[in-house]
Amino acid sequence: MSSCTIDLGLLTEGGKVRNLAGKERGIAAKNDLGLQELEIECDIVTIIYPTYITSITSSFFLGMFSDSVERLGSRMSFFDKFRFVRNLEGDELYSYMLADIEGGIDRCEFDRRKSFFSN
């Protein structure tokens, strides 16, 4: 089973940025980090969410992960593919971090339902 790692700390200018926000920035991060390629190449993609990042907004999450959420089809499949941790040791996320991720998935699912009903 192949595993890859993405460190969101790479998006923080050496820890200067504390809040990952904006759909456009999420899309840029997805492209800069090669997320789609890693999703295809790796069985599991570990996402490091360092504790100095105080939040990931749902709009950023939407830009970075909405294609993955849609492609994988369910919350469970998304969490099977993407493992979010605080550090390389694999420490679990704090509750505020998990709330950011869950909120982002909720937003992706809402946008998908909204799109379905508008067609």
For residue 118, pLDDT over 60 is answered with no
Percent of the chain at pLDDT > 90 equals 76
The pLDDT-based confidence of 111 (bands split at 50, 70, 90) is: low
The yes-or-no verdict on residue 20 having pLDDT over 50 is yes
Q: Indicate the number of domains in the chain.
A: 1
Asked whether 68 and 31 are in contact (CB, 8 A), the reply is no
26, 59 contact by CB (below 8 A): yes
pLDDT digits (tens, 9 = 90+) for 30-81: 999 999 999 999 999 999 999 999 999 999 999 999 999 999 988 999 999 9
Report if pTM > 0.95.
no
DSSP string, the chain: --EEEEEGGGGSTTTT--EE--HHHHHHHHHHHTHHHHHHH-SEEEEE--TT--EE-HHHHHHHHHHHHHHH-SHHHHHHHEEEESSTT-PPPPHHHHHHHHHHHHHHHHHHHHHHHH-
Paired with 47 in beta bridges are 6, 84
Under the banding of pLDDT at 50, 70 and 90, the label for residue 116 is very low
Token digits of residue 8? 């969101």
Q: Sorting pLDDT into bands at 50, 70 and 90, what band is 108?
A: confident
The alpha carbon of residue 84 and the mean position of all alpha carbons in its chain are separated, in whole angstroms, by 8
Domain span at 18:
3-118
